[in-house]
Amino acid sequence: MTLPLVKPQSALASYMSLPKHVRLNGADGNTIALNSQNQGVAVREGDELKAAYEAEDFTFWLDTADYKGANPFTYYITKGVAADEEAGVEASRLYMYNATDSAETAKIDKEYYNYGNSTRVIFREAVRYGADSLVVAGDTLTLDGKALASSPIAEPKEGVKDFRFYFPYVSEAGNECYIVSEGGENGKQYVHNINGVLVMGAKEDALIVTIEEAQAPTANDEITASEVKVIAGNGQITIAGAAGKRVVVSNILGQVVANTVLTSDNATIAAPQGVVVVAVEDEEAVKAIVK
């Protein structure tokens, strides 16, 4: 298979979007999903041979990972796992991950991370840290040289790059098509589909996808009803429905620009131009673009 020609560099070389729910549809007719072991797969909706995947199994949250003016623009590709009290499962969020490091260090479960001679794409539990970094479950984290194995606050590790992906543009029959690339510590690698299994490899024969905006799933993502709204304006943000709650506003570098308890249900806070992260007490942090 020969890849389509790369679009000239004078045009936007990679996909750029605000956070949203998406489907990553392969040009080969398969769509990206994950199996019961949180391994990346490429399957078709309703395919009985592939455990009858449904529409919501193909929906991911595409979250911006780097808004620092860099091109390409990188993203975390994530999926929420709903809590199951009967099974003792807590709500969590899984992040798409190039498992090359894990594959090289694994002693017992090498087959989990490898498919033939290739490294699998894995979805691994993690939580956001600051504006653009992750704290990864199971890692020994450090802060000021000290181990913080159970602390939610940690110095971001270089390995976080293995969780960041971007979408180089390719031209195919006039459609907006992309390949999925990760440029972490192990060098630039691309997502491939080998017999329905997602693996990392060279650019040649990389999986070509279209990015389709999707509705929020009703089962696999943790969804909580909230009356809190964040509205970006000119040099400010307005937060509605959060009286009495603490709000922390950070810039793209993770620097706090506002930390206050709101006294009204329609509070306005001055904010710098560009992307800010707004964390309201008891709510999931959101990003907003201030004009």
Top-confidence residue, 200 or 282: 200
In whole angstroms, how large is the CA radius of gyration of the chain? Answer: 20
Q: Where in the chain is the domain with CATH 2.60.40?
A: 229-290
CATH architecture for the domain at 20-213? Trefoil (2.80)
Average of per-residue pLDDT across 271-291: 81
Give the length of the chain. Answer: 291
Average of per-residue pLDDT across 259-272: 87
Average pLDDT taken over every residue of the chain: 76
Q: Where is 61: in which H helix or E strand?
A: strand 60-64
Residue 41 has pLDDT above 90, yes or no: yes
Alpha-carbon distance 72 to 67, whole Å? 10
Residue 26 has pLDDT above 80, yes or no: yes
Question: Is the pTM value of this prediction over 0.85?
Answer: no
Write the CA distances from 187 to 68, 159, 219, 233, 268, integer angstroms: 21, 12, 36, 40, 44
Residue 114 has pLDDT above 60, yes or no: yes
- List the beta bridge partners of residue 256: 250
* pLDDT tens digit sequence for 65-97: 765 555 678 888 998 877 666 655 566 788 998
Residue 102 has pLDDT above 80, yes or no: no
* pLDDT tens digit sequence for 161-170: 788 899 998 8
What integer pLDDT is reported at residue 88 of this predicted model?
Answer: 56
CATH number of 229-290: 2.60.40
* pLDDT tens digit sequence for 12-22: 588 888 788 89
Average of per-residue pLDDT across 242-261: 81
Q: Where in the chain is the domain with CATH 2.80.10.50?
A: 20-213
